[in-house]
């Protein structure tokens, strides 16, 4: 993938990864089976270990000096970008390395002038990929602090021209349908659950049909939609049915994964589809 990332080991519900010079030990529900290394080796290698204090939050236990933020670089051919990573109380660090397959696809497929919509854009890896390839990118996320972080990553990468939108992703998409706008590429990686603009709670399995249908109306004639999910309640066949119901044609489907030298860890399901 890149010299800045390595999956060292996984098992017993945890994964051991290297991001740059920092090695992290954190929970992973998909990390079944037994690790190759023993617990003493994990402890010796890890720069920081995440300990859960509630179902959704926790704290990092550091060994030695771990910076508040550090740089991660991704390169594909002559195109590249950077992201600033950091330890959060939600176990995340600002990047999902298993999505590298899609990062490379975007950097290889987008041509200058293509309109790209990144819904639930998070810290902007897909947006940076699209912009580095010359895409006209609209990055949408409901969290202002997250959008600011994505903009910070763009600045670190010396990438400009991205349209930053702080708004509910589905609400923005519906407005774009009314405006008659179209996109050549749409990327969607919605969270498992969240809050609507009026503070109401929603679950992805309830929101996804409307989200996919709305996105299908925004695709250009030869447009591509990438849908990714970490929800354990949504299977690949469910995603295929949803996009097919919205008159989209599946061109690729499966798992996004990372690998050690000997084993593969599946982390999220995806479908890639085109206008029928």
Answer for the pair 225, 235: CB distance below 8 angstroms, yes or no: no
* Strand positions, DSSP E, the chain: 5-11, 14-19, 22-27, 48-52, 58-62, 70-76, 79-85, 115-119, 136-141, 163-166, 183-188, 193-195, 201-203, 219-229, 248-259, 264-275
What is the per-residue pLDDT for 196? 61
What is the per-residue pLDDT for 12? 98
d(CA 226, CA 272): 5
What is the per-residue pLDDT for 1? 59
What is the per-residue pLDDT for 241? 96
User: What's this model's pTM, rounded to 2 decimal places?
Assistant: 0.95
d(CA 167, CA 118): 12
d(CA 158, CA 117): 20
- 199 burial class (0-12, 13-18, 19+ CB within 10 angstroms)? exposed
> Could you tell me the domains of the chain?
95-275 (3.40.50.150)
What is the per-residue pLDDT for 201? 67
H-helix or E-strand containing 151? helix 144-156
d(CA 137, CA 128): 9
Written as tens digits, the pLDDT of the chain (276 aa) is 568 999 999 999 999 999 999 999 999 999 999 999 999 999 999 999 999 999 889 999 999 889 999 999 999 999 999 999 999 999 999 999 999 999 999 999 999 999 999 999 999 999 999 999 999 999 999 999 999 999 999 999 999 999 999 999 999 999 999 999 999 999 999 998 776 656 666 778 888 999 999 999 999 999 999 999 999 999 999 999 999 999 999 999 999 999 999 999 999 999 999 997
């Amino acid at each position: 993938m890149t010299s800045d990332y390595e999956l060292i080991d996984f098992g017993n519900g945890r994964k051991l990864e290297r991001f740059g010079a920092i090695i992290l030990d954190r929970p992973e529900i998909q990390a079944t089976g037994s690790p190759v290394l023993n617990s003493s080796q994990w402890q010796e290698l890890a720069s920081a270990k995440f300990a859960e204090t509630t179902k959704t939050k926790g704290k990092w236990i550091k060994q030695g000096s771990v910076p508040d933020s550090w740089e991660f670089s991704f390169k594909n051919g002559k195109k590249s970008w950077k992201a600033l990573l950091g330890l959060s109380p939600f176990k995340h660090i600002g990047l999902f390395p298993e999505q590298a397959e899609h990062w490379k696809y975007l950097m290889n497929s987008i041509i200058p002038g293509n309109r790209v919509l990144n819904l639930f854009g998070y810290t902007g890896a897909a947006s940076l990929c699209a912009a580095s390839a010359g895409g006209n990118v609209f990055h949408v996320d409901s969290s202002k602090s997250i959008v600011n972080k994505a903009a910070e990553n763009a600045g670190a990468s010396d990438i400009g021209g991205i349209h930053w939108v702080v708004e509910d992703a589905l609400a923005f998409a519906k407005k774009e349908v009314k405006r008659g706008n179209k996109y050549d590429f749409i990327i969607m990686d919605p969270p498992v659950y969240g809050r609507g603009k009026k503070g109401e709670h929603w679950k992805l399995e309830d929101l996804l049909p409307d989200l996919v249908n709305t996105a299908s109306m925004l695709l250009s004639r030869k447009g591509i939609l990438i849908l990714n999910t970490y929800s354990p309640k949504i299977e690949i066949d469910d995603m295929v049915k949803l996009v097919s119901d919205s008159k989209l044609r599946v061109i690729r489907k499966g798992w996004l994964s990372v690998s050690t030298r000997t084993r593969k860890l599946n982390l999220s399901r995806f479908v890639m589809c085109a206008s029928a």
